[in-house]
Amino acid sequence: MESTFISLDDTTEENSKTISQHEKVHPCRRCGKGKHFVREHVVHIPPSQTHPDGHVSTWHEHCANNPSHKDELSYDEINHITEKYFSNLIGSPTANILTEFPNADKYDKQIRGWVRYWNDIFHPEDPLNPNLIKALIATESSFNPDPKKIISAHGLMQITNLTFRVLCNTKGELKDYLIRMTKKQLLSPSTNICAGIRWLFWKKVTASARLKRKASWEEAIIEYKGYWDQVESGHDPEAMQHLREYFNRLEEYQTIF
């Protein structure tokens, strides 16, 4: 089955004109840059002189302006992109390998889609590998969408409270490409994976600044996990050992077949 997910690298001239006209950051987005997608929903209007008892109004789906004028990926649009584009994608991550985890293959669609999305956005010289994200999730949550291992970390990719605030903060350290979500919405698997991968791209930037050279994706994960004190003291954290083992298994099977 062919993919209906359009990569910026494969965009046709016609699609390019459409993207330019609406200033979209990615072809699968519903809204142009500086706007976010809002699904149709019911609004309860409080009492007023015109409507003393209040009333109920339906707001149709629309693109709303972001006061920040930055790109903000909303929870509604995350769901729209997932539902419309991700089911037809093919390729890694590899399935049927990490059998010690009952839900290991349950989120492959979301991993595949959001890795491709963020690779399209940032165009890294060394594109992020979906199998690496699958291995990372194995070490973070064992593919449990609400593991509750740490009270301050949430979801499949164990996004911390601090990370959540940075991802949503229009005046924080992220200059663009923010995620508009609530703490409850962060537990949605697709939202969590989308946000976690966005954060990993930022951790690659901060790891590069720390190392004063371009960081590898493994070094970005060390930054993501906060392991630099252990690594710099000569230790190899157990979670990193497991991550490499999972990743190598996923890659080996994919190479063979």
- CA dist., res. 246 & res. 248, Å (int): 6
**Class of residue 127 by CB neighbours under 10 A (exposed 0-12, middle 13-18, buried 19+):** middle
What's the CA gap between 232 and 228, in Å, rounded?
6
Instruction: Please state the pTM of the whole predicted model.
Output: 0.83
Question: Residues 138, 98: contact at Cβ < 8 Å?
Answer: yes
**Where in the chain are the domains?**
70-256
Tens digit of pLDDT for each residue in 145-196?
A: 999 888 999 999 999 999 999 999 999 999 999 999 999 999 999 999 999 9
Q: Please, are residues 78 and 38 in contact by the beta-carbon 8 Å criterion? A: no
Q: Note whether 92 and 132 are within 8 A (CB).
A: no
Residue 178, C-beta contacts closer than 8 angstroms, at least 6 positions apart: 68, 70, 71, 72, 73, 167, 168, 169, 170
pLDDT single digits (tens) 86-122: 999 999 999 999 999 999 999 999 999 999 999 999 9
CA distance 235 to 231: 5
CB 75 within 8 A of CB 182: yes
Count of other CB atoms within 10 angstroms of residue 140: 24
**Among 27, 19, 4, residue whose Cα is nearest residue 84:** 4
Judge: domain 70-256, CATH 1.10.530.
yes
In this predicted structure, the answer to whether residue 125 has a pLDDT above a threshold of 90 is yes
